């Protein structure tokens, strides 16, 4: 048995510039951090069973990998030539489609684990590349590749996407005081609304030509965000987030909606310096950059707004940053190789 985990992430600025239609014309850039919420993938070898099992929100057992419904597990197994005799299960700290990048964290953990199953070890770059290829090329999802890199590398990084498909991951080297101070300035709430990123990104993708200059400004904002972060200028960071959120809302008609706008306004009018929706938009989590003394007030007022809109699953999600990326936590598959 092999156990792999990969962290979820929060992205600060630059989302959308990781789509190929943008970075093939101008370098894409995002700044994001891995957080203490994880997706776990467990892979078990069942050489005596002529079947494949996949266990996620549903449980599938089929004779051959090609019969699976789960698009990514199916595509990954077929691509790697694993047809049967395997069980794959996934677990996570939080449900999917919350805007914390969990679907790519899953792909990253899956690819790292399947290669380990084949006796191969992938480094961080190879893992991110394998997961991006799986999602974008093999399954054909209309998504970018920032989340695969964030999950594979861990830590807080500036990630740059180049026109030749290469990716540079530049860690932002903060000491623990700065890191904990940033954590203490963030408030994250799950809106209670889940959505697939692809539903927003499909429209956003078709708008790239029209919105090219806006996207380029968003990629440029990443440097400003990093500089202010390293100076500990949290108010300035909030203002950068706020401006970037206003820009992001123009990228597609469904990035925001009246309920999200009201939640956001509630945070801003009660002391937040800035914020954004995490993930592609339309639901998921809302994050604020707030001085710590304003946290209690925002918690109270925003809960009331959520209640008014019947967002029954609305709740705060406490966040800590992690350095961990995709990691094989346990590999008991050696025994298989010893005994066979």
The DSSP annotation for 212-267 comes to HHHHHHHHHHHHHHHHHHHHT-HHHHHHHHHHHHHHHHTT-TTS--HHHHHHHHHH
Shortest Å, Cβ 82 to another protein: 20
Closest to another protein by CB, 115 vs 205, is: 115
Shortest Å, Cβ 165 to another protein: 21
DSSP 8-state assignment for residue 140: -
What tokens appear for 74 in the block? 């199916």
The DSSP annotation for 309-332 comes to TT-TT-EE----B----SEEEEE-
Closest to another protein by CB, 121 vs 231, is: 121
Q: Cβ(272)–Cβ(187) under 8 Å?
A: yes
Cα angle 218, 222, 225 (rounded to 5 degrees) comes to 120
Closest to another protein by CB, 245 vs 321, is: 321
Within 10 angstroms of residue 110's Cβ, the number of other Cβ atoms is 26
Instruction: Compute the radius of gyration of the chain from its Cα atoms.
Output: 20
Q: Cβ(221)–Cβ(244) under 8 Å?
A: yes
Shortest Å, Cβ 236 to another protein: 22
Shortest Å, Cβ 120 to another protein: 10
Closest to another protein by CB, 238 vs 325, is: 325
Closest to another protein by CB, 154 vs 281, is: 154
Shortest Å, Cβ 35 to another protein: 12
Closest to another protein by CB, 179 vs 211, is: 179
| Rounded Cα distance, 212 and 198, in Å | 19
Closest to another protein by CB, 99 vs 155, is: 155
| Rounded Cα distance, 125 and 143, in Å | 18
| Rounded Cα distance, 80 and 147, in Å | 22
What tokens appear for 142 in the block? 């209309």
DSSP 8-state assignment for residue 173: -
Shortest Å, Cβ 18 to another protein: 23
Shortest Å, Cβ 171 to another protein: 6
- Strands 86-92 and 52-55, by their bridges, are parallel
Residues in touch with another protein (CB under 8 A): 116, 121-123, 154-155, 171, 173, 175-177, 180, 322-325, 327-329, 331
Shortest Å, Cβ 334 to another protein: 10
Closest to another protein by CB, 4 vs 19, is: 4
């Amino acid at each position: 048995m092999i156990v792999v985990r990969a962290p979820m992430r929060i992205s600060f600025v630059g989302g959308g510039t990781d789509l190929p239609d943008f970075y093939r014309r101008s370098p894409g850039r995002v700044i994001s951090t891995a957080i203490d919420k994880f997706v776990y993938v467990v892979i078990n070898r069942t050489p005596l069973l002529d079947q494949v099992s996949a266990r996620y929100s549903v449980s599938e057992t089929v004779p051959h990998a090609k019969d699976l419904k789960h698009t990514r597990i199916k595509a990954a197994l077929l691509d790697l030539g694993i047809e049967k005799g395997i069980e794959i299960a996934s677990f996570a700290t939080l449900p999917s489609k919350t805007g914390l990048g969990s679907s790519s964290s899953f792909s990253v953990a899956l690819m790292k684990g399947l290669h380990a199953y084949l006796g191969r070890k992938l480094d961080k770059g190879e893992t991110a590349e394998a997961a991006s290829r799986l999602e974008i090329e093999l399954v054909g999802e209309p998504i970018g590749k920032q989340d695969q890199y964030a999950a594979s590398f861990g830590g807080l990084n500036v990630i740059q996407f180049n026109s030749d498909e290469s990716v540079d991951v530049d860690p932002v080297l903060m000491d623990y005081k700065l890191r904990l101070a940033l954590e203490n300035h963030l408030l994250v709430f799950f809106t209670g609304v889940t959505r697939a990123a692809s539903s927003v990104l499909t429209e956003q993708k078709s708008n790239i030509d029209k919105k090219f200059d806006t996207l380029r400004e968003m990629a440029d904002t990443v440097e400003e965000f990093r500089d202010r972060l390293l100076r500990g200028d949290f108010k300035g960071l909030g203002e950068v987030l706020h401006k970037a959120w206003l820009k992001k809302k123009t990228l597609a008609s469904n990035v925001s909606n009246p309920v999200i706008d009201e939640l956001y306004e509630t945070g801003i009018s009660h002391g937040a310096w800035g914020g954004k929706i995490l993930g592609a938009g339309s639901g998921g989590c809302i994050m604020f950059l707030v001085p710590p003394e304003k946290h209690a007030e925002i918690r109270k007022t925003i809960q009331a707004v959520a209640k008014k809109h019947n967002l029954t699953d609305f709740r705060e999600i406490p966040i800590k940053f992690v350095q961990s990326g995709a990691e094989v936590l346990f590999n008991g598959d050696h025994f298989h190789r010893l005994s066979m």
